[in-house]
Each structure stands twice: as C-alpha cells, then as structure tokens.
Amino acid sequence: MKASQNPIDAPPPDKVPRPGGDGLFMDRSFSPLDARHTIGPVSSEDNKSRLRLTPAERDGAVWIRIPDLIRMNCGLSHDDPVNLFDDTIEPNDLTQGVVGDCWLLASMACLAEFPDSVVERINPKAISPEGRYTVSLYDHTKCRWEDITIDDYVPCKYYADYTQVPYRMNDQGKRVYDGRVKPRMRYRPLFAAPHGNEMWCLILEKAMAKFVGSYSKIAGGHEPFAFMTMTGYSQVYEFKRRALDRDMTRAEVGVWQRGWAQWHSRDRPTCGYKPVQRG
C-alpha cells in the first residue's frame, strides 16, 4: 500500500455519502444520524459536560467510515487495504483528535504495551466487510463482561491542512503562509485520530463512548476507570506525590502515596481515591 505522491483534496461534506446509504451495518442504537444523542451535550448546553464544541460543530460533524477516512487522508485508492491491527500494536498508534480525551488515550496507550490485551477486546480480528465490530468491556456494577456492538462511523471535522504549505515567521513570531500554495482539505476525527492505516484505537474509543452513553462523557474522565473497564480488574492502584504547597506546584521528591481507585458508576467515567494505610 502506497500513498499517492500528489494526494487530492478530500471531498467536501456535501459530497460524502450519508451514513447508512451503502448497505453496510449502521448501529441505530448509537446512530451517526443522531449526533445530539451519540456525541451528546456540549458544555454550552450542559454545565456538567466537558465537551468543548459548539452545538453547530457537533451537529455539523461529518460521519465517515474509518476505512474511507484513512483512504481519503492517506491518498489511497478505494481498493487499497486498511488494517484493524498493524504488524505491531504500540502506544504510538494513538493520536488525539480535535476534542481532548487524553485520559482514555493515555490508558489505551498503556494497554498497547501488552498487544494481546488489545486484540482480545475486539472482534473480528481483521477488517469487518460489513463495518460491524464487537468490543468486550467490563461493567463493574454488574460484575460481568459486556459485548458492545458498534459500526465504524466516526464524527469528523472538515479542515484546511497547512502542514505542507511553506511559511515564514513575522516579527510577532507568527506564521505567514505562502498564499500561492493551497492547503489540502482533509477530515480530522473529533476524537481519536488514526495513526497511519490502523483502526483499532478508534474502534476501542467508540465502544467506550457507547458504553458510558455518549462521546461527550469521554471528554473528561480518570485513567483508572479505563483500566478497570478494559481489563476487568477491580483493584487498581494510583500513586501520587504529596504536594508541598496549596497550589500543588511542588511535590515531595521520592515520596509517593498509594491509593485505591474507587469505581463510581458506568455512566460516569471517574473514580474516587482512597489512600492505603501503611502497614
């Protein structure tokens, strides 16, 4: 598989096929046709939401199947293969998108240090011709694994990519781009972005979003929740350095506090913290 030497612009949103029109699987319970439910409330609509999008950005998201997204952005033809997993699964497979869910991506990067732990979560183990995937996540409220079935549509933003446009720095230290060179129009996922032509991180992230109720609920969370959900382990420890000032700008060197992460509930991807007593 080789990317085009002269990649063309991705088609504008009005030229992207409407979700569900290709005859492949579309998850109607977590539907790309219902962004208000699937992406969820933004911070201007709900003060508990940490999703820093405008309602227009959410409602205007372009839903694209992951293989098509990768082919568009990598300058590949429709027949070029895309991988669910590459030869090696590693932390560098993950890239953050427009919206920050770094707590989840950091946890997924840690899980990628143990590739079998990633592979065993997702079925099938290769690209699904119908766009259907099942991800196993652990619900500690019910004390059991749950199979989360999703499609491979992800919400994207259409944007101008200036990375290949020459520029100079002005007196204010800002970039001034060469107006003779047009930026390339591309699509960027609102959440996790694919690295190269691997899909697994977007599939796992979408399953977690459906598990907790919406994408907006993964815009803020705690790493232990992700570890508990993706591994099934109920006892996860956190190690913290004791702060030496109220603003928590300085910490005691070489001294760590150990605590248990406390599962709260499935629809709140946060965890409490209970210090472990010495002895």
**Calpha distance 201→207 (Å, rounded):** 10
Ramachandran region, residue 143 (left: φ > 0; alpha: ψ -120 to 50; beta: rest): left
Which residues, in sequence order, are bridge partners of residue 167? 177
| Strand residues in the chain grouped as ranges (E) | 62-65, 94-95, 122-123, 132-139, 144-151, 153-161, 167-169, 175-177, 184-189, 193-194, 237-243, 251-265, 268-275
Q: Is the dihedral of CA 240, 242, 244, 248 positive or negative?
A: positive
102 labelled catalytic: yes
* Catalytic residue (one of 74, 102, 110, 271): 102
* C-alpha span between 54 and 43 (Å, rounded): 8
Task: Give the active site residues.
Answer: 102
